[in-house]
Structure 1
């Protein structure tokens, strides 16, 4: 059974399933989901816990041995399996065997990075385990979802903030829920319960946003100029090489150009994405870029990348990070940025 993360508390109140699969790349939400399952299981009498962390030398027989043995004192058990990625063949075989003979005195919690739709459909271990219990996919939070999450988080501490304050907090901690949770705790310590004014948030919350070059490319593909400029500034401050940022922009632009060429030859975008082996998580931004940009705009964007590359290598005059902003501007259909426009964007 597949559940959304916000459906988990109600499901746990109704009873404990024999298997939980929790998948995702957002560590705070994934960890808290697993914690909630363990706490609910303990409340139902699952008193003992065995932790299995899969590394290169892990013996899958340990899990099967634990499943087939019974506690000396008849305790109900939690089998907590931590996977750093998809299980290998031995792991897949072991999980299929586990699904065939699920112990009556144990609940299995499997946590691992995000599983794509194809991995869910084609992985025999997943197909064996998922019908026996609950599957939860954890997704990163952005925009209104992040603001709603912050509102609930603050509400749990009896704090109330206006939407403008929540938006300010969201902008400060973008991409880092661990930092967001810490900032909410800090606000509670500094300000206590009750109404939290925007100025209180502005003074108390540090700028905890964390970006990488993939965030930059995603923002540029979607034509988000202000966000692109903010990410460029953050990457520069963190000491990221301009060449690395350029690589991410140029890589995704070449993919968009390839998809445009394939569509012009009669293919569909989905077929082109499949042939180019583009992950589902990267498709959304590229689809928006395909909708916004024609082939000439993509060509101009690649020419801007070429100029940026020459500047980074010292073969042309200019400032590297200004040239990267010009790439983002061109991807947004605006052309190279003037000094005044750069100041307006900032």
Structure 2
């Protein structure tokens, strides 16, 4: 079964079997994970987390799914990674789905391409589990998602204010949510938030933004990029938003390298195409091989897993995008 983000939110408490979340919207991913964890805690469901770094890790996951502690009647296994089970793992998955009706396997993956979604793993999930694409491709979808966030904050926006907010953040849902939080704090007594409220609240929120960081990295200006990054950290910009911004550019550059004629179709703004093309000419394609693993390390360090410093790792990623090395 396939669900979108808002449909998935409504079914959290009843979730059993196998669910897969995949996409590149950090707000949607984090909201769903937070909702799942809150539901498990409310229902006193035991939770375990695994990070998949090799196919063999799936054996540990299925062993855990089939064994409960003495103090639990239900188990939720949260799995993060981009490696699918092999043939033996798929047999284990099908067996689990047929015989275990009470536990939940929640798999969190980055955005998947069309060929990946046609693999045996996703076919099994579509037929016997739940497949949730963390996407918001249309303005109507993004507004519905942000309207839920606004409702949580107790604010309402005028219709043209929604349009202004989306244009201001270039479809970045996480940045838009942070702006809703700012305007909620600043205009707590206002019944309907207008464009003027948003503008007065957000125009001076930061001397630099993540968009300035993106431009500096694409231009290969390492010194300016590090300066902007340090400013963003000092001004309280969420590390997850900075990671999203860096990850977006890395993925777009890798995609543009494979499809140099399809810049606009890949989602690159027309005014930015030349910047990405210049960056590609400057970069050695071999650096692309290290980017996925580096992004996973940054994500893990932000979540407090392992002992690496997320700021140091982000600076490595910035340097790599600039075509430089810190070491």
The partner residue of 1:255 within 261, 281, 284 is 261
Q: Rate the CA distance shift 1:93–1:187 in 2: closer, same or farther, 3 A.
A: farther
Give secondary structure in 2 for the equivalent of 1:60.
Answer: helix
Q: Deviations over 1:280-312 (max 9, x none)?
A: x975779xx9xxxxxxxxxxxxxxx8xx98xx9
Q: Distance in 1 between matches of 2:137 and 2:256?
A: 26
CA RMSD of aligned residues (A): 3.8
The partner residue of 2:200 within 199, 203, 218 is 203
Q: Contact conserved, 2:65 with 2:75, CA < 8 A, in 1?
A: no
Give secondary structure in 1 for the equivalent of 2:48.
Answer: strand
Q: Rate the CA distance shift 1:79–1:253 in 2: closer, same or farther, 3 A.
A: closer
Q: Deviations over 1:264-291 (max 9, x none)?
A: xxxxxxxxxxxxxxxxx975779xx9xx
Aligned to 1:97: 92
The partner residue of 1:184 within 180, 186, 190 is 180
Q: Distance in 2 between matches of 1:179 and 1:54?
A: 29
Alignment of 1:80-159 (within 5 A): 80-83=78-81, 85-87=82-84, 89=86, 93-102=88-97, 103-121=100-118, 123-141=119-137, 143-159=139-155
Q: Deviations over 1:56-94 (max 9, x none)?
A: 5963332122122122123311111111x23263xx632
Instruction: Report the CA distance between 1:11 and its aligned residue.
Output: 3.1
Give secondary structure in 2 for the equivalent of 1:189.
Answer: helix
Alignment of 1:212-227 (within 5 A): none
Instruction: Report the CA distance between 1:165 and its aligned residue.
Output: 1.8
Aligned to 2:219: 241
Give secondary structure in 2 for the equivalent of 1:109.
Answer: strand
Q: Contact conserved, 2:16 with 2:101, CA < 8 A, in 1?
A: no
Aligned to 1:326: none
Q: TM-score, normalised by structure 1?
A: 0.57
Q: Distance in 2 between matches of 1:21 and 1:109?
A: 6
Q: Contact conserved, 2:46 with 2:72, CA < 8 A, in 1?
A: no
Aligned to 1:10: 10
Aligned to 1:261: none
Q: Which has the larger radius of gyration?
A: 1
Instruction: Report the CA distance between 1:33 and its aligned residue.
Output: 1.9
Q: Distance in 2 between matches of 1:146 and 1:166?
A: 10
Instruction: Report the CA distance between 1:163 and its aligned residue.
Output: 1.9
The partner residue of 1:60 within 58, 61, 82 is 58
Q: Which structure has more RCO (C-alpha within 8 Å, separation ≥ 6)?
A: 2
Q: Contact conserved, 2:58 with 2:85, CA < 8 A, in 1?
A: no
Q: Rate the CA distance shift 1:113–1:234 in 2: closer, same or farther, 3 A.
A: closer
Matched, 1:31 2:30: yes
Aligned to 2:70: 72
Instruction: Report the CA distance between 1:25 and its aligned residue.
Output: 1.3
Aligned to 2:313: none
Instruction: Report the CA distance between 1:141 and its aligned residue.
Output: 4.5
Q: Deviations over 1:6-38 (max 9, x none)?
A: 21233346x323111111111111221233233
Aligned positions, number: 238
Q: TM-score, normalised by structure 2?
A: 0.60
Q: Contact conserved, 1:26 with 1:139, CA < 8 A, in 2?
A: yes
Q: Deviations over 1:169-207 (max 9, x none)?
A: 222222432222211112112211522232221111247
Aligned to 2:316: none
Q: Distance in 2 between matches of 1:285 and 1:182?
A: 23
Structure 2: unaligned runs, 5 residues or longer: 222-248, 283-327
Give secondary structure in 2 for the equivalent of 1:11.
Answer: coil
